[in-house]
Structure 1
Amino acid sequence: MMLTAGEALRAIEDFPVVEPAAFVRRGLLVVAPHPDDESLGCGGLIAACRSDGLPVTIVFVSDGAGSHPHSRAFPPPRLAALRREEAMAAAQRLGVEESRVHFIDLPDREVPTRGPLAEEAIARIAGLGEGADVVLVSWRHDPHCDHQASFELARQAVRRLDGARLFEYPVWGLTLSPLEPLDGPAPKGCRVEIEAFLPAKRRAIAAHASQTTNLIHDDPKGFRLTPSLIALFDTRFETYFEAGA
């Protein structure tokens, strides 16, 4: 089926609103392309699940070392280490234990969907998803190659799990042109009420200082989340598209 980004995003308005406890019942696995995607797209639900005592596991697919390619102060190894520290701090602010935060460390901007590295990642995600009834991953239509690749890895991993449902959270898809053509199933899903957990979500996003502040000041063309972009995620609902088969 062919639709536009505008049609897909407008369809969200008709998604049913559910409470976190009605969405995740046993456990949650969040697959994040980069450190910060988990906080932006799922931070409220993560905090809600932990508040209810449900297990949450977060797996970061790429090392995040590509956000500031021209920084001399933070060359790729140092930037990858920094982003790992930020991811751990964000998870802690959402209530996730250190032992449940995992890093696959595939190269930023080059996450594969085929070959030995992809197979290893799929097996790792499937293993970490044991016991979860909901697996979340970036929206297949997010305009970033790592987000699209992470979706494919998670989709293959969930096929190896019994009783787990796969849902997609939009990040950069929220910025698509309304006329952008999209291929895929008619959008279905839900909006999860997370207003009570917005303070925790905001603290988690702020933990990713390399992406939200001028911490890395020697690469003026490096990536930075602007306040207007962050505002897209500072809402009482988080949106999850049902991935289907």
Structure 2
Amino acid sequence: MLQSTAVGTLLIGAGGKVTAQETNEEDELRAAVSFNDQATDGTSVVIDTVTLLDGGFVSVQDPTAAHDPDPWLVEGETMPTLEEFFSTTVLGSSERLEPGIHDDVEIEFDTPPEESRQLLVMAHRDTTDDEAFDYADELGEEDDGYPTGVDVNRVVDDGAVELEEDDETAGVFEVEAPEEVDAGEPVEIIVSVTNDTEEDFDSDLVIGFGNETGSSSFTVAAGETETVMGTFETDDLGGEEVDWLVTDYGERVDAGTITVQE
């Protein structure tokens, strides 16, 4: 889908002044981009097709970021400066692309979006001919977007980008507990805590059996497993079903019932 918009060329500067890049209305359309809705882990997005007849770059932008209430609408300062606008709006860009059609162009985020939202991709010329993307650093004065030939519009497309939730869990708990024991035989409840991340994981484990509890606070190093065992006496519990519970920082990990035979 090819769309035309003035986003990225109508720049709201300090003091609320609106400026625009000059564009020759007779310019031939020399670029196209196609950006589909997609999910991302927050590191990059993929642009389906980029066509640049003169070569150049493609950028990913969040056209609303610079105008979010936080941090601009504080202390009466309602508009970002041009530097703030460009540093906030441009999230990432490609390396210089040769003239022609490019499929599945992956753009890594320099500034990842903090939440799922509609993002914009823009086709850029290499106006400085230095093979470096200078659009944001030069506040839009260099490496401007390819014009559509209509007013100040640029060649862009937009798509909904959904941030995937991180399924990685710091602590993976495995609990072993018997279903029944004989009276007088100690009950052993074993809890293994595995850290699947690259950072240390703290645990505040509590194992409860009937009216008795045992606790242990410890740190599990990245990629390691720690095991804790709670041992409880059953001398006075013959013929009863006793509940047990395992928590970590007060959150339920696992629970069950053990039958104590007479």
Q: Structure 1-normalised TM-score? A: 0.23
RCO greater where, 1 or 2, for CA within 8 Å and sep 6 or more? 1
**CA radius of gyration, larger in:** 2
More helix by share: 1
